[in-house]
Structure 1
Amino acid sequence: MELIGQGMEGAVYDLGDGRVRKIWFDRRPDDVRPLKEFLDELPALPFRTPRIREIAAGADGQAVHDEHLLTGTALNESGLTESEALDAFVAVVEALGPTTPGPASKALPVLNQPFWRDDLSWGEALAALVRRRAAESHRHLRRDVTDFDELLEDLTTRLATVEPGRLSVVHGDICQPNLLMDGPRTAAVIDWGFYSTAGDNTFDAALAAGFFDMYGPDAQRLDNLLLDRFEALGHDRRRMYLYRAAYAITTATIYDADAGDGHYRWCVGNLNRLPS
Structure 2
Amino acid sequence: MDAAMEYFEKQAAGPVELIGQGMEGAVYDLGGGQVGKVWFNRTPDEVLPLQEFLDELKAQDLPFRTPEISAVDEVGERAVSIEAKLVGTPLSQALESGRVSQQQGLDMFVDVVAALATTHAGSASRTLPVVEESAPFWRYRVSWGDALAGLVSRRADKSQHYLQADVEGFEELVDHVLAKLALLELRNLQIVHGDICTPNLLVDDDGRLALLDWGFYTTAGDNTFDASTAAGFYDMYGPDARAIDDQLLGRFEELGHDRGRMYLYRAAYAITTATIYSEDGSDGHYTWCVNNLNREDLRAAL
TM-score when normalising by structure 1? 0.97
Give the Cα separation in 2 of the matches to 1:272 and 1:200. Answer: 24
8 Å CA contact 2:141, 2:147 repeated in 1: no
Are positions 1:266 and 2:283 aligned together? no
SS in 2 for 1:109: coil
Please state how far the C-alpha of 1:27 moved relative to its aligned partner. Answer: 1.5
For structure 1, list consecutive stretches of 5 or more residues without a partner in the other structure.
none
Runs of 4+, deviation exceeding 6 Å: none
2:253, 2:259 within 8 Å by CA — same for their partners in 1? yes
SS in 2 for 1:23: strand
Q: 1:9 aligns with which of 17, 24, 28?
A: 24
* Corresponding position: 1:80 with 2:96: no
Are the structure 2 counterparts of residues 121 and 76 from structure 1 closer, same or farther at C-alpha, using a change threshold of 3 Å? same
1:49 deviates by 0.4
Question: CA shift at 1:165, angstroms?
Answer: 5.1
1:200 aligned residue: 222
Find 2:61's aligned residue among 16, 40, 44: 44
CA contact (8 A) 2:162 2:281 kept: yes
| Match for residue 234 of structure 2 among 196, 212, 223 | 212
* 1:15 alignment partner, SS class: strand
1:30 alignment partner, one of 38, 42, 45 = 45
1:48, 1:255 → 2: CA distance?
28
Kept after mapping to 1: 8 A contact 2:130/2:137:
yes
Structure 1 pair 158–184 and aligned structure 2 pair: CA distance change class (3 A): farther
The 8 Å contact of residues 80 and 184 in structure 1, kept in 2 or not, is answered as no
Alignment of 1:158-197 (within 5 A): 158-164=180-186, 166-182=188-204, 185-197=207-219
Partners of 1:27 and 1:62 within 8 A in 2: yes
Change (3 A) 1:46 1:139: same
CA contact (8 A) 1:130 1:246 kept: yes
How many Å apart are 1:186 and its aligned residue?
Answer: 3.9
Q: How does 1:88-99 map to 2 (within 5 A)?
A: 88-99=108-119
Unaligned runs of 5+ in 2: 1-15
2:141 and 2:267 mapped to 1: Cα distance? 24
Question: C-alpha displacement at 1:196, in angstroms?
Answer: 0.4
Q: Distance in 2 between matches of 1:70 and 1:184?
A: 13
1:80/1:119 Cα in 2 relative to 1: closer, same or farther (>3 Å)?
closer
Shift of 1:164: 3.0
- Range moving further from structure 2, 8-17 or 81-90: 8-17
Asked if 2 retains the 8 angstrom alpha-carbon contact of 1:172 and 1:195, the reply is yes
Q: When the two structures are superposed, what TM-score results if normalisation uses the length of structure 2?
A: 0.89
Deviations 1:196-228 (A, max 9, x none): 001000000000000000000000000000000
Mapped partners of 2:142, 2:164: distance in 1: 28
Q: Does 1:63 align with 2:114?
A: no
Q: For residue 81 of structure 1, what is the amino acid of its counterpart? A: S
Aligned to 2:12: none
Residues 209 and 227 in structure 1, CA contact (< 8 A), matched pair in contact too:
yes
Whether the 8 Å CA contact 2:91–2:201 is kept in 1: the answer is: yes
> Which amino acid is the alignment partner of residue 105 of structure 1?
S
> Is 1:126 matched up with 2:148?
yes
Asked if 2 retains the 8 angstrom alpha-carbon contact of 1:88 and 1:184, the reply is no
1: CA distance, partners of 2:112 / 2:141: 31
In the TM superposition, what is the alpha-carbon distance from 1:183 to its structure 2 partner? 5.2
Could you tell me how far apart the structure 1 residues matched to 2:144 and 2:160 are?
23
